[in-house]
Amino acid sequence: MEGDNILMPLSFTRTLRLKVRAEAYAWLNAAAVEVNEVFNYCNETSLKAATRTDKKQKWMSGFDLCNLSAGASQYFDKIGAGTIQSICIHYAQKRQAARRLKLRWRVSRGPRRSLGWVPFKAASLKRKGLCLRFAGKSFRVFERERLEEVTWQGGCFAQDALGDWWLCLPVKVQAEESVAPEEAVGIDLGLKDIATTSDGERLRAGRWTQAYAQRLALAQRRGHKRQAKRIHRKAARCRADALHKFSRKVVDRYQKIVVGDVSSLKLIRTRMAKSVLDSGWGMLKNFLDYKSQQAARTFEVVSERDTSVTCSACGAPSGPRGVNGLIVRSWVCRDCGELHDRDVNAARNILIGSRCRTSVRGNESSPWLIPPSNAYRVREARIESAWAAA
């Protein structure tokens, strides 16, 4: 019976992204062309099978595509049977997720060509001294020491917009369980400040796109496409660096992390689209999500409806409303007289709402490792009494 109470170690999958050295780029470019041919064959075959006019019409699975492509490796110079099977399985999964008769064709040449992609199975990539061996070709990567004592799963070689190649390897990592110094935090997402916590900490908007806008415009007017791509990558890396540092600090400090469900997809249709995309809300949520899993934390996304106009002390909806109310950054509750910062008050309401409402994602939070503090007990008691009276 004692063995039944033993907790299994928590593990998660992490993707290592290592840059490939430039001497292998020509080989990978040629292999990517062959991968596109296999992908387009799967696309064409699946479309014909799904649009047949007789009773043999069917949606082809990855197993069916692997059977049809058996023996095709002898017609390719770079890729082997393992890569062909990986392409077939990947295509079937993507088409099923998209629920479409066919996917977009992969273009190998011209200005609209697809970025290179070469998948493989775990057994196809092997260590050989200081190099990695794949399909009869030796590769050297930067930061090779990160692969020591690591068992990888099926991964891929992926190309970025500048033409550089990266080795992406999913690996299993054991989570380091620990109790955070503080119990919980609510995070409100915005444009002036990308994130504001219920304790008053802020991640200021970097305006990375605006910072590089002049350099980008000059490069585009001169026709320097590669330089323009480098500027885009620089802005993206600055944004990711700031979000990585903020998310790491939050995960190391709090046991439970609650974020509002603000939607980037809806706001990019408005005049605020450039600022919304530059803020990277979705990226921040993803960082908090997977880092919480690694550290055995609880992460939730809850509804943030009326969080900015509701007093976090007494629960009265006395805050400024409407588009014109967005100008007001601080206000005083007319019922209890409490002075609120708009973003901090919203973050506190997001945290309070996570304890009183169900998460919009439907995931169940783990049991409290630390009892709730007295900071929000008065507010929660009033909510529970109001619900009981109703």
Distance CA 206, CA 221 (A): 25
- Answer whether 137's CB lies under 8 Å from 111's CB: no
Cα separation of the two ends of the chain: 46
Q: Which one-letter amino acid corresponds to residue 157?
A: F
Q: What angle do CA 388, 389, 390 make, to 5 degrees?
A: 90
Query: What is the pLDDT at residue 366?
Result: 38
Measured CA angle at 141 (ends 156, 17), to 5 deg? 45
Q: Which of 350, 343, 349 is nearest to 299 (CA)?
A: 350
Give the C-alpha distances (Å, rounded to integers) separating 8 from 3, 293, 367.
11, 15, 17
Burial of 371 (0-12, 13-18, 19+ CB in 10 A): exposed
Q: How far apart are the C-alpha atoms of 331 and 6, rounded to whole Å?
A: 52
Helices (H), the chain: 25-50, 62-68, 81-98, 208-211, 213-221, 225-253, 264-267, 273-279, 281-294, 342-356, 377-389
The CA distance from 252 to 280, in Å, is 21
Say what the pLDDT of residue 328 is: 78
Residue 388 pLDDT: 43
CB 27 within 8 A of CB 137: yes
**Residue 388 corresponds to which tokens in the numbers above?**
């009981």
CA pair distance 345, 315, nearest whole angstrom: 11
pLDDT for 9 equals: 60
Find out whether 346 and 188 touch, Cβ atoms under 8 Å: yes
Q: What is the C-alpha to C-alpha distance for residues 368 and 357, in angstroms, rounded to an integer?
A: 16
Q: What crossing angle do the helices spanning 225-253 and 213-221 adopt, rounded to 10°?
A: 160
pLDDT tens for the chain, 390 residues: list them: 444 444 456 777 888 999 999 999 999 999 999 999 999 999 999 999 999 888 888 889 999 999 999 999 999 999 999 999 999 999 999 999 999 999 999 999 988 899 999 999 999 999 888 899 999 999 999 998 888 888 888 899 999 999 999 999 998 877 777 778 888 899 989 888 899 998 888 998 888 888 898 999 999 999 999 999 999 999 999 999 999 999 999 999 999 999 988 888 888 888 888 888 888 888 999 999 988 888 888 899 888 888 888 888 787 777 778 776 777 778 788 778 778 888 888 888 888 876 654 444 444 443 333 333 333 444 444 444 444 444
| Residue 373 CB contacts under 8 Å (≥ 6 apart), including other chains | 183
State the DSSP H helix or E strand holding residue 14, giving kind and residue range, or none if neither: strand 11-19
